[in-house]
Chains A and B, each alone.
Chain A
Amino acid sequence: MVDTETFLDVSIWRDQGGDGHFETYQVPRLANQTILDVVSWVQQHIDPTLSYRFACRVGMCGSCAMMVNGEPRWTCRTHVKKVVVEDCLEIAPLRNLPVIKDLVVDMDPFFDKWVAANAVFEPSRTRDDPMAPITPDDPMRIVADGAIECINCAVCYAACDVVAANPEYLGPAALNRSWSLVNDSRDAGQAQRLHAVSAGGGCHNCHSQQSCAKFCPNELNPTLSISGLKRATLKSLLRWDR
């Protein structure tokens, strides 16, 4: 249903390679409208050259995150009415990542840090071995449960002031994934992982400001995971494992 009396003033970041600026568009306000709906309306009705990313539209793929009124959001699940201020919206590419064009950022630095954090499963068995039994009430599994619903949207990475201040910092998402693997009893890469998250850009740089936990659309708490990594690495140091 169109409310013909109401329009949104939407400022969208336009960047063709170094000439970044906001352009304002008038977008009709609709019932149950999401930020992704607004961006799509502009692209479909005003300027087809507007670039942005989305895929699933249901909060699973993690590809549509943008800065909305200065805060990182998953745009397909963010209702306009939740974030609009006096019928105005400001939509920009994710913070802390290089812009490719308009609202599209280069995610390479984000995923390179997952690799640097050794946030990749290292199997301890082959396909010929029997499956490792892990029960739902296993204490390590319960801890891992708190960290495994990450959709790689980079909202936490954009929210993190330490990433902004220290480009080497691995960031909340990569460290959160590392923590879930530290609690995976099937994983064979624990020593290398703890070493990887203890280097110059590692978990010890986190100031526990908890912006990642505040903005995570899946309500994960990467700060808690990072504090777990701090404890695990400290124990490993005190055991003279390194």
Chain B
Amino acid sequence: MLTLRLYFAQRLTAIIMAPLTLGHLVVMIYAVQDGLSVAEILARTRGSVTWFLFYGSFVLAVAVHAAIGLRVIISEWLGVRGVMLSFFSWAVLVLLLFLGGRAVWMVTLAGGLQ
């Protein structure tokens, strides 16, 4: 159920996620240690193209990576194959893109550029 292209997409998104995960951890530790409030965080992220690109690419990579990984798991563990397997993979991709994309949009560019 894993073809070369799906394998490549999963490895590529893993490579993309590795530095983004480290960046995300650094941001979290910085935010917690400095005691930033929600308002202070939003003040930094709203209107920021940089944060939009950072977390936007993160969401994109996570959605692709997780959809392929879950595709393998439900195929091997539950025996799902064929059209149902493709439907499940695309549904996971769309769901993660929607949820993650909406969150990133709301904390970055929803109010316009600054």
Q: Residues of A with Cβ closer than 8 Å to B?
A: 162, 165-166, 168, 198-202, 204-205, 230, 233-234, 237, 242
Binary contact readout B7-37 vs A (1 if CB under 8 angstroms, 0 otherwise): 1100100000000000000000000000000
Interface size in chain B (residues, C-beta < 8 A): 13
Which of A166, A198, A230, A234 is within 8 Å of B1, CB to CB? A166
In the complex the two chains form, is B77's CB within 8 Å of A234's CB? Answer: no
Which of B2, B75, B76, B77 is within 8 Å of A204, CB to CB? B2
In the complex the two chains form, is A202's CB within 8 Å of B4's CB? Answer: yes
Which of A162, A204, A230, A234 is within 8 Å of B3, CB to CB? A204
Closest residue of B by beta carbon distance from A169: B1
Least CB distance from B87 to A in Å reads 16
In the complex the two chains form, is A198's CB within 8 Å of B4's CB? Answer: yes
Least CB distance from A168 to B in Å reads 7
State the CA gap A162–B77 with chains docked (Å). Answer: 10
In the complex the two chains form, is B77's CB within 8 Å of A230's CB? Answer: no
Chain B positions within 8 Å of A201 at CB level: 1
In the complex the two chains form, is A162's CB within 8 Å of B76's CB? Answer: yes
Chain B positions within 8 Å of A166 at CB level: 1, 75-76
Q: A165-B76, A165-B77, A166-B75 are in contact. Are A237 and B1 (CB under 8 A)?
A: no
9 nearest interchain CB pairs? Answer: A204-B7, A165-B76, A198-B4, A204-B2, A205-B2, A233-B4, A166-B76, A200-B1, A204-B4
State the CA gap A166–B2 with chains docked (Å). Answer: 10
State the CA gap A202–B1 with chains docked (Å). Answer: 8
Would you list which residues of chain B between 93 and 113 have a CB under 8 Å from chain A? none
Chain B positions within 8 Å of A202 at CB level: 2-4
State the CA gap A204–B6 with chains docked (Å). Answer: 9
Chain A positions within 8 Å of B77 at CB level: 165
Chain B positions within 8 Å of A242 at CB level: 4
Which of B2, B5, B76 is within 8 Å of A237, CB to CB? B5
State the CA gap A168–B72 with chains docked (Å). Answer: 13
Closest residue of A by beta carbon distance from B75: A166
State the CA gap A200–B76 with chains docked (Å). Answer: 13
Least CB distance from B47 to A in Å reads 38
Least CB distance from B4 to A in Å reads 4
State the CA gap A230–B72 with chains docked (Å). Answer: 17
In the complex the two chains form, is B8's CB within 8 Å of A237's CB? Answer: yes
15 contacts between A and B (CB under 8 A): A162-B76, A165-B75, A165-B77, A166-B1, A166-B75, A198-B3, A200-B1, A202-B3, A204-B2, A204-B6, A205-B1, A230-B7, A233-B4, A234-B7, A234-B8
Least CB distance from A207 to B in Å reads 9
With most chain A CB atoms within 10 A of its CB, the pick from B4, B6, B7, B8 is B4
State the CA gap A188–B110 with chains docked (Å). Answer: 57
State the CA gap A168–B82 with chains docked (Å). Answer: 12
Closest residue of B by beta carbon distance from A230: B7
Beyond the given A162-B76, A165-B75, A166-B75, could you list 18 further A-B residue pairs with CB under 8 A, ordered by the A residue number?
A165-B76, A165-B77, A166-B1, A166-B76, A168-B1, A198-B3, A200-B2, A200-B3, A201-B1, A202-B2, A202-B3, A202-B4, A204-B2, A205-B1, A205-B72, A234-B11, A237-B4, A242-B4
